[in-house]
Amino acid sequence: MKSLQGSGASGGVAIGTLKFYRHDRQLVSRRRVEDVQAELERFQTAQAAAIDQLGKLYEKALTQVGEQGAQIFEIHQMMLEDDDYCDSIRSIIERQSVNAEYAVAITGENFAKMFSDMDDDYMQGRAADVKDISERLLRVLEGEQSDAIDADQPVIVAADDLAPSETVQLDKSKILAFATAGGSVNSHTAILARTMGIPAIIGLGPEFQAELYDGKTAAIDGATGQLYIEPDKETQAALLEKQAKLAERKRLLTQLKGLPGETQDGQRILTYANIGNPSDLGAVLANDAEGIGLFRSEFLYLESQDYPSENEQFQAYKSVAETMAGKRVIFRTLDIGADKQVDYFHLPKEENPAMGMRAIRICLTRQEIFHTQLRALYRASAYGRVAIMFPMIASVWEIQEVKKIAAQVRAELTASGVPFDEHVELGIMIETPAAAVLSNQLAKEVDFFSIGTNDLTQYTTAVDRQNQDLGRFYDPHHPAVLELIRLTVENAHRNGIWAGICGELGADLSLTETFLAFGVDELSVAPASVLPLREKIRSLNQSNRQAILDRYLEVR
């Protein structure tokens, strides 16, 4: 047995096979071949296999997301049969006497660049499609499976780290847990694990690699950050016992279903859930969340090969609103940029992307994208209690411009006779120090605040939350962060609006009493954290609120 120590990112115990996620390859080698005809036949066989894979994906998607969502696989099938694309691959093999992998990689690069350089937005969007079909062909040629997780049974997904665009495309039914060499507790891998309610360990170090551990049996303890390779019987028995106790604890928490998040002296606080996909709704309902405090709409963009249409977005938002049956659902508008990159957006490379073109800045710069999303959201509001939240607001003029665009959308829908709720709440995320300091002025423009503590901590302490080497400097409990939260809530109430927290700090039970003393109205957390949070709230007595605030001020 070998033990590796990382950082616990999501609690729980899992025992299973380690499967390392295969990232897109960075380099394809060029080698000379003697039998050109055999190489052409290799390409032709791979082409047929890739088309067959796409056909199966189309049938699967048809049942899950409907005709529109499945259409991309039909398009990719046609592109794989395109004469120009295939002739280029054959020509490179024949003229240069090289391997099919090299011919596919070069053709993919050339065609993707050709599309990217075009002036037409639609044609530019085809660049990502060419990359995708070329990658699929390369996987087939190299004997890899089409799925990033090649397993019949659920496994522990291992990687050096996972990008948001990779995590959202994983088959969640095949995942027991996550284990990564790098990353941070605020990475999207960790957030996804907490949303799914499965164990996760990050920061296992450079020794954790596929060459050494892929396919081996492992056990992980998401609370302690301990990973055991080929654990002995005693270790397995201890972890299974811990797993059983956690299951019993979870069972006892279910007794809180249907009960309000209310302190012993009657202070009421809403317990909501954060999700990123309609598929997470089952966890929301199973954990009795009173609403959805954060629906990360950017995951619709991360999962797509091109900009999702108004109707595709409408169907997703509508299904969430309908399923929540009148409970509030807060949709955060597109938060692309920084660590969440999407190829077809063609965002420029930036020295400091966390400070650059992201979130509301993209929406106000590319208003056609924003306009489409707002139309879909307002249309969905006719089917449930929808609220719309705008991320990365730092100035009053930004929210004023956002409200003008929203008013234009409402006027368009009214003129077209399209039904929508005319009383949709509009709110903003408080995730920059500027927004917190200006919260008194911003509160006059909106219906609610939701404090994004992950970015608020990052920007307040000037620490990159994705940088694992800065872990001990990234301090969500920093007095300045807590003071900005307190100021934001105070200014919200001064102006008659409500304020919640939707960042990871909302699930930190050591701060629940402090947040209640601040007067926070709502806490939105991963679905699995809803009932533990509600239990904590119901154990508290806020009749001594002033003493709690005085204690906070002394510590500060």
Each residue's pLDDT tens digit, 275-323: 988 888 888 988 999 999 999 998 888 777 788 899 999 999 999 999 9
- The predicted model gives 362-370 an average pLDDT of 90
Structural contact between residues 107 and 136, judged by C-beta atoms closer than 8 angstroms: no
Token digits for 341? Answer: 């990159």
Domain check: are 133 and 162 in the same one?
A: no
Token digits for 534? Answer: 């509600």
Please provide residue 20's backbone torsions phi and psi, each rounded to the nearest 5 degrees: -80, 130
**Number of structural domains, the chain?**
3
pLDDT for residue 320: 92
pLDDT(66) > 70: no
Residue 498's DSSP bridge partners are 448
Q: Which pTM was predicted? A: 0.65
Structural contact between residues 105 and 28, judged by C-beta atoms closer than 8 angstroms: yes
- The predicted model gives 217-227 an average pLDDT of 93
Please provide residue 68's backbone torsions phi and psi, each rounded to the nearest 5 degrees: -65, -45
| CA gap 55, 61 in Å, rounded | 10
| CA gap 486, 469 in Å, rounded | 29
pLDDT band at 123 (very low <50, low <70, confident <90, very high): low
Structural contact between residues 292 and 330, judged by C-beta atoms closer than 8 angstroms: yes
Task: Tell me the H-state helices in 350-478.
Answer: 360-365, 367-380, 396-416, 433-437, 439-442, 453-461
- The predicted model gives 104-131 an average pLDDT of 77
Q: Collapsing DSSP states into helix, strand and coil, what is residue 220?
A: strand
Given 141, 160, 184, which residue is the final one in a domain? Answer: 141
- The predicted model gives 429-437 an average pLDDT of 96
- 188, 346, 363, 423: which one is catalytic? 188
Task: Tell how many helices (H) and how many strands (E) occur in the chain.
Answer: 21, 16
Domain check: are 352 and 500 in the same one?
A: yes
- The predicted model gives 218-238 an average pLDDT of 93
Domain check: are 288 and 391 in the same one?
A: yes
Structural contact between residues 335 and 388, judged by C-beta atoms closer than 8 angstroms: no
pLDDT(26) > 60: no
pLDDT(57) > 80: no
pLDDT for residue 376: 96
**By residue range, what is the domain housing residue 347?**
264-555
Q: Which residues have a Cβ under 8 Å from the Cβ of 234 and sit 6 or more positions away?
A: none
pLDDT band at 133 (very low <50, low <70, confident <90, very high): confident
Residue 395 DSSP class: S
Using alpha carbons, select from 328, 327, 324, 402 the residue that is nearest to residue 363: 402
pLDDT(226) > 90: yes
Is residue 502 flagged as an active site residue?
yes
Residue 161 covered by a domain? yes
Please provide residue 346's backbone torsions phi and psi, each rounded to the nearest 5 degrees: 50, 50
Given 112, 141, 170, which residue is the final one in a domain? Answer: 141
- 346, 477, 478, 502: which one is catalytic? 502
| CA gap 314, 63 in Å, rounded | 18
| CA gap 313, 303 in Å, rounded | 12
188: buried, middle or exposed (CB in 10 Å: 19+, 13-18, 0-12)?
Answer: buried
Residue 160 covered by a domain? yes
Instruction: Return the H-helix or E-strand segment holding 390.
Output: strand 386-390
Domain check: are 89 and 118 in the same one?
A: yes
| CA gap 504, 524 in Å, rounded | 9
Give exposure, 219-238, as e/b (b: 16+ Cβ within 10 Å). Answer: bbbbeebbbbbebeeebeee
Task: Tell me the H-state helices in 117-145.
Answer: 121-141
Least confident of 64-73, 99-108, 521-530: 64-73
pLDDT band at 255 (very low <50, low <70, confident <90, very high): confident
Please provide residue 265's backbone torsions phi and psi, each rounded to the nearest 5 degrees: -100, 10
Residue 14's DSSP bridge partners are 220
Given 117, 141, 165, which residue is the final one in a domain? Answer: 141
Q: What CATH number has the domain bearing residue 215?
A: 3.50.30.10
pLDDT(431) > 70: yes
Domain check: are 231 and 321 in the same one?
A: no
pLDDT band at 65 (very low <50, low <70, confident <90, very high): very low
pLDDT for residue 136: 84
Q: Could you tell me what percent of the chain has a pLDDT over 70?
A: 88
- Counted residue by residue, the chain has a size of 556
Residue 258 covered by a domain? no
pLDDT for residue 147: 47
pLDDT band at 146 (very low <50, low <70, confident <90, very high): very low
